[in-house]
Amino acid sequence: MAPPSTKEVEFTPRCSEDVIDSTSTNLSSATDSYEFDWSPSQQMNLIGYYYFGYVPCHLFGGSLAFKYGFKRVLMISALGAALLSASFPLFARTNYWLAVANRVVLGVLQTGWFPSIQGAWGHWAPEKERSTLIMIPFAGAGLGSVTTLMGGGLISKYCGWEWLFYIPAALSFTWALFWSYFVYDTPALHPRITKEELMLLPNAEKKSKKQSIPFREMVKSKEVWAFVLAQIGTNYQFFMVATLFPQLMKNLLGLDGSLAGLISGLSILVHIISILLLAVVCDRMARKIGLLKIRIWYIALGFFVMPLTLAFAHEKIIGCSGNAAFWALSFTMILMGFQAVSVKSNPNDLAPTLAGVINGLANVAANTTGFWGPAIAGIFFDRYGHSEISYGYLFLIGIFINYFTGICYITMFSVEEQPWSKTNESKSELKDDLLDTSESYQTSSSSDGDSNVLDSRKETLEST
C-alpha cells in the first residue's frame, strides 16, 4: 500500500460520461490535496519493495522455524512488524527511500510466516483433517486483505492514510501478546492440553525426531518444481485480482475508492469461504474417488477455466456497473479457490514432516511476483495511464502465466509421499532408537565390551 501521489498519466475513464461528473476528471484539481509527489511507477514499486526483503530470506525464515520452533519466530516477527508499521508514515514523510527501507526490513521479518504455520500442522493437525486445516492460515491472510480493502478507504478518508498503518501495528502487537501465552510448538509442551485433545493427536507424546533437511533431493525433485511453478501462478493471479481489480473499478468504472474497496473486499470474502468449503469437499471426495483424481479436477478448474473469467472485465460484459463488477470478480475468486486448494496442500502430500521447508523453498521463487508484478504494472501505467489498454495487456500476461504454470503443474505433480521423505524419516527414527538403546544399555550394562560396541554404532550413526 502506498500513500496518494500527484503524478498521474492523463486518460479518459471508460465510464466518465455515465457515472462521473465531468469536473471530476480534472486530475490536477482532484489531486491538489495529495501529499506525495510520487509517480505511478514509484507507488507500485513501493508495494513491491516489500518482497525484496521477503523473498530472498524466505527459506532462511522457514529453516529458523524448523530449528527453533514456529512460536518464537512468529512472535518476534509480529512485534517487529508492529514497530515498522507504526513508523512507516514518519519514514514516508521524511524520504522516499526511507519508506523503501522500511518495507524491505518488514519483508525480512515476515519471511517465515507461511512455512512456519504449514510446518506447525505436522504437530497439531489430525491426519484426516490436515488438508482442511492447512487452508485456514491462507484464509486468514485473505481476511486481512478483506478488512483492508473494505475499511481502508473509509479509514483513509475520515482518519487519514496514516491510520492504515497505525491500526495494524496495534493489532499486531496485541496479537503477539496472546500468541506468547496460548501457543506452544508441540502438544507435549503445552501445559493446559487435555487428555481428550491428546487422543486426537496420535503422535503428540512421541519424542520429537531431529531430521536433516534433504535440500539436494528437493532440488532434484520434479514434483517439488511443479509445486514451485504452481505457486508462481497462484501468487501472480492473486496479485492481479487483489491489486489491479480495485484500481480498474476506480479508474475505469469511475467508482469511489471506498466502494471499489468494498466490492474487492466482499469478493475476497467469497474467496475465503470458497477455499474453506472446497478444502472440506476435497478431503471427503478423496476418500471416495481418490486424492489424485479430485486434485486433477481442481487443477483443471483453477488453472485453465479461471483465467478465462478475466474477460469479464471487458466493457461489453460488465460495462459501468458496480454490481456486475462484483459478481464477475466473485466468480473469478470462487474458481481461484480450486487453484488454492490444489496447490497449497501439496507440500504435505510430498513430505509431511518437511512441508514447511518445501513451502519456504517454493516461496523464494513464487513471491518474486510481489515485486516484478507491480513493476510490470507500473511500466504500463506510466505509458498508458490507468486505461483499458493497460489493464488489457496485464490481464493477457496473467492468462499466459496461469496456463503455462498450470500445464507444468498438472503434468509433473504428485500426491504421494516422496521416497526421499520416507528415507529421511526412517533414518531419523532408526538413529534415535539406536542412540537411546545405546545410552540405556551403557547405564545398565556391566559389560565393557558390549558397551564399546554400542559406542561404535552410536558414533557411526551420529556421523550419518
Res. 206: pLDDT tops 90: no
Task: Average the pLDDT over 31-39 and give the result.
Answer: 69
CB-CB contact of 367 with 375 (8 Å): no
Q: How far apart are CA 232 and CA 335, in angstroms?
A: 17
Task: Average the pLDDT over 169-183 and give the result.
Answer: 91
Q: Which residue has the higher pLDDT, 94 or 15?
A: 94
Res. 170: pLDDT tops 90: yes
Tell me the average pLDDT of the chain: 77
| Res 243: pLDDT | 74
| Res 438: pLDDT | 43
Query: How does residue 441 score in pLDDT terms, banded at 50, 70 and 90?
Result: very low
Q: Among candidates 402, 381, 145, 398, which has minimal Cα distance to 264?
A: 145
Lowest mean per-residue pLDDT among 154-168, 248-262, 441-455: 441-455
| Res 88: pLDDT | 93
| Res 80: pLDDT | 92
CB-CB contact of 368 with 51 (8 Å): yes
If one counts every other C-beta atom within 10 angstroms of the C-beta of residue 321, the result is 16
Lowest mean per-residue pLDDT among 73-82, 107-116, 310-319: 310-319
Lowest mean per-residue pLDDT among 34-43, 285-294, 390-399, 450-459: 450-459
If one counts every other C-beta atom within 10 angstroms of the C-beta of residue 277, the result is 15
Q: How far apart are CA 216 and CA 283, in angstroms?
A: 31
Angle value at C-alpha 265, between 381 and 89, nearest 5 degrees: 65
Q: How far apart are CA 361 and CA 232, in angstroms?
A: 12
| Res 15: pLDDT | 60
Q: How far apart are CA 192 and CA 120, in angstroms?
A: 18
Residue whose C-alpha cell is 509431511: 352
For the stretch 368-386, pLDDT in tens is 787 788 788 888 888 888 7
| Res 156: pLDDT | 83
Highest mean pLDDT among 90-104, 189-203, 238-252: 90-104
If one counts every other C-beta atom within 10 angstroms of the C-beta of residue 397, the result is 16
Highest mean pLDDT among 26-35, 60-69, 409-418: 409-418
Res. 19: pLDDT tops 50: no
Q: Which residue has the higher pLDDT, 126 or 220?
A: 220
| Res 30: pLDDT | 40
Query: How does residue 25 score in pLDDT terms, banded at 50, 70 and 90?
Result: very low
Res. 101: pLDDT tops 90: yes
Q: What is the DSSP string of 149-187?
A: HHHHHHHHHHT-TTHHHHHHHHHHHHHHHHHHHH--SSG
DSSP, res 20: S
* 69: Cβ contacts below 8 Å, ≥ 6 apart: 185
Sign, CA dihedral 25-29-34-35, equals positive
Task: Average the pLDDT over 249-264 and give the result.
Answer: 71
Residue whose C-alpha cell is 481428550: 196
Res. 437: pLDDT tops 50: no
| Res 404: pLDDT | 95
| Res 453: pLDDT | 42
CB-CB contact of 301 with 409 (8 Å): no
| Res 169: pLDDT | 93
Q: How far apart are CA 434 and CA 39, in angstroms?
A: 64
Q: Which residue has the higher pLDDT, 403 or 57?
A: 403
Res. 299: pLDDT tops 90: yes
Residue whose C-alpha cell is 492460515: 137
Q: What percent of the chain has pLDDT over 70?
A: 77
5 phi and psi angles, rounded to 5 deg: -135, 160
Q: What is the DSSP string of 61-90?
A: HHHHHHHH-HHHHHHHHHHHHHHHHHHHHH
Q: Which residue has the higher pLDDT, 58 or 203?
A: 58
Q: How far apart are CA 8 and CA 93, in angstroms?
A: 20
| Res 230: pLDDT | 94
Q: Among candidates 371, 299, 266, 297, which has minimal Cα distance to 45?
A: 371
| Res 456: pLDDT | 47
Task: Average the pLDDT over 239-265 and give the result.
Answer: 73
Q: Which residue has the higher pLDDT, 265 or 136?
A: 136
Q: Which residue has the higher pLDDT, 27 or 417?
A: 417
Res. 451: pLDDT tops 50: no
CB-CB contact of 228 with 364 (8 Å): no
| Res 259: pLDDT | 73
